Amino acid sequence: MILDYENVNELNRYKIMSGSIVPRPIAWIVTEDNGVLNAAPFSYFIPISTSPALVIVAIGKKDDGSPKDSLANILKTKKATICFPNKDNIDQVQKCAMQLSKDESEIEKFEIDVRKELEDYPPMITSTQTALFCEYYDTYKVEGDTTPVILKINYQYIEDGRINERNHTNIESIGRVGVTFKAMVDL
Ligand SMILES: Cc1cc2nc3c(=O)[nH]c(=O)nc-3n(C[C@H](O)[C@H](O)[C@H](O)COP(=O)(O)O)c2cc1C
């Protein structure tokens, strides 16, 4: 079966793409504006370069057509801290996908523990096993409602014991498959 994307509407494309390009890592992004801490998950997310160390995250619009808070904050403050969900915090990740008003904090509302590691970056979610401290790099222009934002990784936190002397890491993140979460297994 060949699907001609010209004939597949946006919702069905989303369903097919997100159910086929799997598993996708989930960026659980913490941003800040005027003291309000924002956290939201994004799975249209992937590394695109090592030097410079770049990742890209595609951020859509809110239902009312306004920019999602994460995007507005990144464009304003130029900073983001990317955390990674694991099987113990799925519930919090899902809550963070709720659309709150810009002056409401998911971190406060859902009582998510955060820890300030670096002065110039938003705090990281304490339960993450690794976190990327990023600055805004560029925006890739596309048609439609999605804004793909490129972020540069300047620093990374890795929980003690999760990286060895040869720089091999052991991070137990979960991924997104369609609308479900999957844990990684060794093969
Ligand atoms: C696992 C998961 C992955 C998601 N991936 C994306 C994504 O890649 N792009 C996007 O715009 N929204 C995505 N969402 C929805 C956002 O998390 C949601 O719109 C959230 O309210 C945005 O919050 P903000 O306005 O605070 O930035 C995802 C939700 C979940 C649960």
Query: Separation of 79 CA from ligand 1 center, angstroms?
Result: 18
Mean pLDDT by 10 residues, the chain (187 residues): 97 96 96 97 97 98 96 98 96 96 96 97 98 98 95 98 97 94 90
Ligand 1: residue whose CA is nearest its atom 19: 97
Query: Separation of 185 CA from ligand 1 center, angstroms?
Result: 25
φ, ψ at 147 (rounded to 5°): -115, 105
Domains of the chain, earliest start first: 26-160 (2.30.110.10)
Q: 38 forms bridges with which residues in the sheet?
A: 31
- Which helix (H) or strand (E) segment holds residue 28: the answer is strand 27-33
In ligand 1, which atom is closest to the CA atom of 38?
Answer: 26
Which of 87, 105, 106 minimizes the C-alpha distance to 95?
Answer: 106
The residue to which tokens 């659309």 are assigned: 99
For ligand 1, whether the C-beta of 128 sits within 6 Å is no
pTM score, whole prediction: 0.97
Which of 158, 150, 119, 151 minimizes the C-alpha distance to 134?
Answer: 151
Ligand 1: residue whose CA is nearest its atom 20: 97
In ligand 1, which atom is closest to the CA atom of 93?
Answer: 31
User: In whole angstroms, what is the distance from residue 70 CA to residue 36 CA?
Assistant: 11
User: In whole angstroms, what is the distance from residue 97 CA to residue 160 CA?
Assistant: 29
* Type of residue at 129: Q
User: In whole angstroms, what is the distance from residue 90 CA to residue 82 CA?
Assistant: 16
For ligand 1, whether the C-beta of 79 sits within 6 Å is no
